Amino acid sequence: MVSSYKTILLENKSQGVWVLTINRPEALNALNSTVLEEMGEALRQMGELPFDEARALIITGAGEKAFVAGADIKEINALDEDKAHSFAQRGQSIFHELTLLKIPVIAAVNGFALGGGCELALGCDFIYAAENAKFGLPEVSLGLIPGFGGTVRLARAVGQRRARELTYTGNMITAQEAHTMGLVNKVLPAAELMPAVLKTVETILAKAPIAVGASKKSINQAWDMDVEAAQKNEAGIFAELFNSEDVKEGTSAFIEKRKAQFKGI
């Protein structure tokens, strides 16, 4: 995999655990075209890796102040309607890649997650946040609306009424407030954030990777279905897993009272 980027860092921690760091601390890790291009390339390469080489992805920001403080306003200021449409579609497409990845994607929010940063976190499977983290969609203060999926994903995460209030006011909320409303899974002291994420990843890695990927697929697909259709879809995904060796290994290990040795096949 390409590992030399200008605006992101991509590190293979161990056992298929990758950390993607938005690396523009001088700009509070603001998203610009280069960041989006490099993120897209990194995610495409991740998606091509076999299960044993890519088991989980953690996304965070460089420095102590920001996860991602938003999109690059100087770049946005120069857009016209056509370019703005392309810019929004580009961000939406890349963040959707997080959904398409078969592996769990966890946001480790270590500071400001505003605008595009909040949208990036929302694109991840779940969010752990440092106590000093702040969340918000302040686009209305610029005469804009969120363009990278914020009006779609925030409502699904916290409900329409809370999403409307946060989007209309552009207010920032604390990590604890985000946790209370269900946006954030855990809030931790900054020094404990990454160790907690890695501990959760370790728990996930002990499970069957195909089953984890199938769980993600079923949950994500259910978003756009009614209950009856979603349950039918779930049953199909459940049944497909019986073609895998991991199902045989997992059930046999349970019966034989031993630890399962999953291979991701």
- Encoding tokens for residue 169? 């006011």
Under DSSP, is residue 198 helix (H, G, I), strand (E, B) or coil?
helix
Angle 256-259-265 from CA coordinates, rounded to 5°: 100
- Encoding tokens for residue 41? 């390339």
Q: How many CB atoms lie within 10 A of CB 67?
A: 31
As to burial, measured by CB atoms within 10 angstroms (0-12 exposed, 13-18 middle, 19+ buried), residue 155 is: middle
Separation of alpha carbons 127 and 184, rounded Å:
5
Q: How far apart are the first and last CA of the chain?
A: 23
Q: What is the 3-state secondary structure (H, E, C) of 39-105?
A: HHHHHHHHHHCCCCCCCEEEEEECCCCEEECCECHHHHHCCCHHHHHHHHHHHHHHHHHHHHCCCCE
Task: Write out the H or E segment, with its range, that includes residue 22.
Answer: strand 17-22
- Encoding tokens for residue 243? 């073609």
Catalytic machinery residues: 119, 139
